[in-house]
Amino acid sequence: MSLIYKLLDRATWEAAAASGTFGGSAVDLADGYIHFSTADQAAETARRYFHGARDLLLLAVEVEALGAPIRWEPSRGGALFPHLYAPMPAAAVRRVTAVALDAEGAPVIGALES
């Protein structure tokens, strides 16, 4: 099983889980795809884009369960990031973990499995 990761606020995830699909956050919708990070990229993504975010969740998503291909496209410094050009089925989420903030408000992401 290959895992990729998505950071979301709790309310957005709860709405997606209830409906069975996640169509994307505001930034996903603006860009035309759902942004994900690999295990090695998630902590930096959290630090850059979610500083101070309260009630944040980290979703571990099984790539093979998405039902649509992931495109690996260059982003930060040319690193390849997983992007999904379709709604994400909530059933593809294997684990949901609450993300704490450190004393400076940076999200704390521990070691993740790939």
CA dist., res. 95 & res. 52, Å (int): 23
Count of domains in the chain?
1
The answer, yes or no, to whether residue 66 has pLDDT greater than 90, is: yes
- Does residue 108 lie within any of the structural domains? no
- Does residue 107 lie within any of the structural domains? no
- Predicted local distance difference test score (pLDDT) of residue 76: 72
- Predicted local distance difference test score (pLDDT) of residue 43: 95
- Predicted local distance difference test score (pLDDT) of residue 12: 96
- Does residue 16 lie within any of the structural domains? yes
- Residues 9-51 have pLDDT tens digits of 999 999 999 999 999 999 999 999 999 999 999 999 999 999 9
- Does residue 83 lie within any of the structural domains? yes
- Predicted local distance difference test score (pLDDT) of residue 22: 98
- Does residue 106 lie within any of the structural domains? no
Token pair for 34? 């759902």
- Does residue 113 lie within any of the structural domains? no
**Of 41, 52, 48, which is closest to residue 6 (Cα–Cα)?**
41
pTM: 0.94
Q: What is the CATH number of the domain that holds 60?
A: 3.20.170.20
**Of 103, 79, 80, 109, which is closest to residue 6 (Cα–Cα)?**
109
Cβ neighbours of residue 5 closer than 8 Å, sequence gap 6 or more:
36, 37, 38, 39, 41, 42, 58, 59, 60, 61, 112
Q: The domain containing residue 17 runs over which residues?
A: 3-99
- Does residue 55 lie within any of the structural domains? yes
- Residues 70-100 have pLDDT tens digits of 999 998 788 999 999 999 999 999 999 999 9
